[in-house]
Chain A
Amino acid sequence: MKGMTIIVKKTVQLISGLIFLYGIYVIIHGHLTPGGGFAGGVIIAGAFILQILAAGSDFMKLTKEELGSTMYENLAIFVVVFLALSGMLFGAKVFFFNWLPKGTVGELVSAGILPLYNIFVGIEVAASILTIFLALVIFKEEMPE
């Protein structure tokens, strides 16, 4: 896959950082405003996909990137399961128990363990969407003509 013109490349360099920040905002405000781990994760993956589409696949070492994103995805889902299990260690012996202090409704640090779920599910979703895209691109590169 070839890259696009210099206009597209420069615009993507300016914009993709803002998209990345917006994804992080959607994730960490997931328990206050609409959004959450799933939506924010896909937005973050979109920032990376924009970069790869604009710069072309020969620009970056994509196989290395794919190894990293696969690792992040597996670690994130592992942490989500561990957080769900941690309810069994503290307080009531219930799977998915919200054992952290709740705080005041409406503040950024509140709602106990829910923001942590949001963050790790966000990492997991971003890494999996990016991994699927990278796998498709690398398959196209490796395919014999």
Chain B
Amino acid sequence: MAAIDPPATPIAAPRPHGRLRALFDELWKDKPGFIGFSIIVLIVLAAFFAPLIAPYDPATQSVVARLKPPVWAAKGSWEHLLGTDQLGRDILSRLIFGARTSLIVGFSVVALAGAFGVTIGLLAGFRGGRTDTILMRLVDIQVAFPGLLMILLIVAVIGPSLGTMVVVLALTNWMIYARVVRGIVLSVRQTPYVEAAEMIGCPQSRVIFRHILPNLMSPLLTLGILEFTNIVLAEAALSFLGLGVQPPATSWGLDVSTGKDYIFVAWWLVTFPGLCISITVLSINLFANWLRVTTDPQEREKRFARARAAVRRREERRAGIRREAA
């Protein structure tokens, strides 16, 4: 390894690389987490390079190639691997382009809602007193709103589009970030090291960015990833109901919705886009599960204790068998 490095590299440089490598090794040991992570990488790559990978344009219709079944079915052909829909559009191409919608909506909503929620949470946690009471009462009130119905009403009034959906989903999903951040800020502020930092006269910005923010990173990362799955599901549901992404744009939820009129004749229209949503969300969940345990020191302790106990039990059993044999 070191031989490949250019000589100008400072000695300390390999360290972050080593840490990344250790993290990767740990991920490799958790098989479900690793599989989830690999699938996420594949989906992101597919979405990014969609025009290069997709065999057809997702919107090109063809009267002669309508409702063609997938390649392994009796009448399938290699021209359309996963078949075509009622307008003769290639399903595989639509799935690859549909990944873009899910990821873009997911990322933008999590970023918007997260930024807003974290700001509110920091404000409430730091200012305390009346600011805290008012902000948190606001959160309580909005949590008790009839969420999805309000989204439907607002989208119906303003008119459905990708932008509307992102803004409305962000406005209805920021509360959880505020609650989590406020809780952590309140508990971290009480720790001796923050008190010490304040005592020796650190400016508040240094206390926030240097001492409190690192504590927020790992719970926020896990929360953001889990919220991402909720947003992907919500986008699919809204598009399915006709209130999200509008044709000619593509979305997995939209494709399931157009396919549902054909479930008696063409099962593949509904099955594949739905499977895409399911696999995406499942992969993220598997990865998030690993991440949560890895970034939480207490959970880590439990995991290693369990692994050690399993090894010990196995050895004891083996020793027992050997003793019986002897």
Do chains A and B stick together as partners?
no
Chain A residues proximal to chain B, CB less than 8 Å: none
